[in-house]
Chains A and B, each alone.
Chain A
């Protein structure tokens, strides 16, 4: 009963999870309720904790690569990217230009597939079943495309220190162009079907306010910050890879409510499609692996940090090296860990049904929080 101090005759404790459909994984929330209203909420983590950071300390840099696809399983390529960039920074490895473009193309496709799954699951949380099936229909095409180059459908291990594992071919490029053409036609349907739906708007507009100050105090990033009017995107803020050369907007909404976070992600799908198109148009010829990439990585002593913009916010990797071929310490900063930490404060005094809408709008992936 730790921390739940405001128990009176009128309140009761409700356990949400750890196996509740709305928590999308094994998250548990201890709720003190006054009728339908939340007095206090305390997320309980750790049900799927695997200690990836310890695993990082007892294997070589390259051997840890498959682990990165198993934290944020909906946006595995961002974790690939963040970890690769951090190791490349530490070891001073240059990446060929074609590989950088392929990384951006595949990662942005991954962002679209991640947002599509979130879109379906979020509307499902709110009681609308049909959009999930439409979203999965579209997402399936991305999974097929990425499977053809990476070899896996979900837990990708595609990037390598100094490039990528496999070149993309003409059928991938054609398939991706066909997908974008199709998706452009689907977006107006999604907006008609869901965004303009009065029942959904009533569930989201003005619900779950997260102020800019709350975003800052809890260190929330990604669509949660951008839905509160903060123009913070690592791709622009701390540019990496070939993002500085790309023309894309960072969607920012100022309403601070669940609807704003929904709109940010829907706009990001469009922007990611633009990035993928530009990538395909400008894809240079050349190798996809650096010729001089060392087989054994031994970074100089010291610590190194690299952040990337994952689908859910800023993912950071801190490597502390002692000069050997294994990391002395590997810290993984997961975005939803910070995004969820504001949930307790944000949902005080809310109706339980509204708090679930707020939770859905945070886009939680529990294995990434627990690591």
Chain B
């Protein structure tokens, strides 16, 4: 499973692809793509039968970047693949993968709530966990309550 998916993801010419040691990290493949590449990566993983565990963000304020992290896993044999992408903090825009994985809908809404990452093409990017009129993003490192 790992070799197959590694070859297919490598064919998408990611920015970086590495195989961490599972015992140390808890995942077996780490793929960094450009924001435009997340949909192609999701389609590739979906075609191989992977499911989406979660989407989240990380605020790298020192680099002036926001990172979106996608955790995939396979139900037949263990293979946790992490796909990550970085975007500019001023214009945090990443295409949505909710067309590929309907389950991504809520995860993307949650990530938008917490980090303000705009998932382009998302059908309903309204606050999910925050109040419906929330205009703040609490997990940004410069958030002041």
Q: What residue of chain A has the Cβ atom nearest to residue B111's Cβ?
A: A331
A residues 294-327 in Cβ contact with B at 8 Å: 302-307, 314, 316, 318, 320
Query: Closest Cβ of chain B: how far from A151's Cβ, in Å?
Result: 30
A345 touches B (CB below 8 Å): yes
Return chain A residues, CB-CB under 8 Å to B105.
Answer: 341
Partner of A49, one of B101, B106, B129: B129
A24 touches B (CB below 8 Å): no
> Which of B3-11, B32-40, B46-54 lies at the interface?
B46-54
A residues 317-371 in Cβ contact with B at 8 Å: 318, 320, 328-329, 331, 333, 337-338, 341-342, 345, 370-371
A198 touches B (CB below 8 Å): no
| Bound CA–CA A329/B66 (angstroms) | 12
Return chain B residues, CB-CB under 8 Å to A320.
Answer: 58
Query: Closest Cβ of chain A: how far from B65's Cβ, in Å?
Result: 13
Partner of B106, one of A3, A57, A337: A337
B130 touches A (CB below 8 Å): yes
Determine whether the beta carbon of A333 is less than 8 Å from that of B106.
no
Determine whether the beta carbon of A89 is less than 8 Å from that of B26.
yes
Using a Cβ cutoff of 8 Å, how many contacts connect chains A and B?
A: 100
| Bound CA–CA A219/B70 (angstroms) | 12
Determine whether the beta carbon of B78 is less than 8 Å from that of A238.
yes
B126 touches A (CB below 8 Å): yes
Q: Chain B, 83-104, contact with A by CB distance < 8 Å: what is the 0/1 string?
A: 0000000000000000001110
- 22 A–B contacts from the bound complex (CB under 8 Å): A2-B126, A3-B123, A45-B128, A46-B130, A46-B131, A49-B130, A53-B139, A89-B24, A217-B101, A220-B103, A302-B25, A303-B69, A303-B82, A305-B27, A307-B26, A318-B69, A333-B71, A338-B53, A338-B54, A342-B102, A342-B103, A371-B129
A residues apposed to B, CB below 8 Å: 2-3, 45-46, 49, 51, 53-54, 57, 86, 89, 215-220, 225, 230, 232, 237-238, 302-307, 314, 316, 318, 320, 328-329, 331, 333, 337-338, 341-342, 345, 370-371
